[in-house]
Chains A and B, each alone.
Chain A
Amino acid sequence: MARPDSVKEGETLAPRKIRKWDLFRVFLRSFFVQSVWNYRSLISIGFGICLFPILKRLYPDTRSRKEFLLRHLKFFNAHPYMVSYALGVSIRLEEEYASGNLQNTDRLDRMKDLLISILGSLGDQIFWLTLRPVSLLVGAFGVFVASTVEQRVAVLILTFLLYNIPHLYLRYVGILEGYRYGMEIYRCFREGRFEKLKKGYLYLGVAIFFLFLGVLLVKFKVEQFAWIPVIGGAAIYASIFYKFSKNFYFTCLFTILFFVIVGFIFL
């Protein structure tokens, strides 16, 4: 998109600087980035709304605002936490454009397009496939082992922190780093930057998974011995059923049905 008519070629506008408070307001809005998720533009509306504090800071006139909104309401998608990097980059490039240091917004559009797959893939790998299941598994194990309500509440608080400290950190730092690096955002995604975090959680998850199984065996051996073969049998039955059916609902229903029949036969 070309620069507004009011800005002549080569002319530099009075710099309109983004404040840290603006970035923090964008961070707060980013919690709602997926609220208007739709099949045509995915998260674009939420993305655009996140940038409203920047819009108000940089563009006082209606025409520029209209162009800004149409720019950011175009198709865009990213992981809801890692989107912060795209927000930071957009803020930086919008600031440069508004100050006249960027001739047009084509680079911004291209950059956002590039970030879609990178941020989506990174976010899925780090959060959906590692941090979230591991944190929840740790929490489930903790609640299972704890005996009093107070202990269980403490476990939930720890689980909440285990997941949300990296979540909130990356959500906020992503905006700051995106804003700082702009077009050089690739420096934030250098090889292995998130590997330690991912691997640490993954090993924790695997350890807790086996610990959970061990504690389950010991606990039920004493309290409810009959549960052990049922849990093991259901796990095997469900695994095999899912392998062939690839259907979550049928796997659950038929496994439950199978053990209802087993109960009617043996009890």
Chain B
Amino acid sequence: MSYLTTSLLIGFLSLDTTIAFQVLLSQPLFACPLIGWALGNPQLGFEIGVILQLLWISIIPVGAISFPEGNIASMIVAAIVIYFDHLGYPNIIFTLAILMGILASYVGDRLTVLDRKFNGYLLEVALSAAEAANLRKIVLVDFLSIAFYFFLMFGFTFVMLNVADFCIQALMPVFNDMLDQKLQFVKPAVFGIGFAFTGKLFYQILVKKSTHR
């Protein structure tokens, strides 16, 4: 499966985050195995999905706040790890992928803000359509907004996958078994961070009874 088709799949799945449905399909636990399936390695997709789900489980998409876009980031991480699994350096690839994933979650957040600003422009169009009681135009605005978000996430994923490809190709000469061995703590560390955030979330709900935002 090419980067283009993978990006299309990720762009489509990312709609589930806030734009449409919101039935968990974009969550790492579901999205990573789906990407694993598409790329021919569902087991690795499941493994990445569990680790990253814990990491981003406490991120709550409440109202107007901006939050790390863990879903798109997880999908990008899963795709990178599965694409480069054949190199035989799982720890190096995972480390690079998770670093890119953290960057992706930040950029994804900024892109969501951009999308919401663009939607502010669409509101003007919708209001003028409402003045003319033009229902079709308002529906068109809706489709345009969904399409904009889709292409934003699709394009972003496509760029990230190509950047990852470039970085990994460029760094290939320094990859070796010893380096891979030294990076073997990264995966359990990410697991640990996930447990810390998950524990914190339950602690807040049970003990503090406050809203985690």
Contacts and interface: CB of A to CB of B under 8 A. Distances in A.
Binding between chains A and B: yes
Given A238-B192, A263-B186, A45 B141 contact: yes
Interface stretch (B1-9, B153-161, B193-201): B193-201
Nearest to B15: A35
B146 interface: yes
Interface string A116-144: 00001000110011101101110110011
Contacts of B141: 36, 45
Interface in B114-170: 116-117, 119-120, 122-123, 126-127, 129-133, 135, 138-139, 141-142, 145-146, 149
A121 B102 CA distance: 29
Contacts of B98: 256
A234 B205 contact: no
A35 B145 CA distance: 7
B175 interface: no
A235 B195 contact: yes
A267 B188 CA distance: 15
Contact of B22 (A77, A80, A140, A234): A80
Contacts of B20: 31-32, 34-35
What's the interface size class on A, roughly?
35 or more
What's the interface size class on B, roughly?
35 or more
Contacts of B183: 260, 263
Chain A binding surface SS class:
helix
B147 to A, nearest CB: 10
24 contacts: A39-B120, A45-B142, A66-B130, A66-B133, A69-B138, A70-B127, A73-B130, A80-B18, A81-B22, A124-B60, A129-B201, A132-B24, A136-B29, A140-B57, A143-B49, A149-B46, A156-B30, A159-B24, A159-B30, A202-B202, A227-B188, A235-B192, A249-B102, A256-B95
Interface of A: 31-32, 34-42, 44-46, 48-49, 52, 55-56, 62-63, 65-66, 69-70, 73, 77, 80-81, 120, 124-125, 128-130, 132-133, 135-137, 139-140, 143-144, 149, 152, 156, 159-160, 163-164, 167, 202, 205-206, 209, 213, 224, 226-227, 230-239, 242, 248-249, 251-253, 255-256, 258-260, 262-264, 267
Q: Please list the 7 inter-chain residue pairs (A to B) with the smallest Cβ-Cβ separation, ordered nearest first.
A: A234-B192, A69-B130, A38-B119, A259-B189, A238-B196, A230-B188, A234-B189
Given A234-B192, A236-B196, 16 more contacts: A36-B145, A45-B141, A48-B130, A65-B133, A73-B126, A129-B201, A129-B205, A205-B202, A230-B189, A230-B192, A232-B192, A234-B193, A238-B192, A255-B189, A256-B99, A263-B183
Interface of B: 18-24, 27, 29-30, 33, 42-43, 46, 49-50, 53-55, 57-64, 68, 95, 98-99, 102, 105-106, 116-117, 119-120, 122-123, 126-127, 129-133, 135, 138-139, 141-142, 145-146, 149, 181-186, 188-193, 195-202, 205-206, 211-212
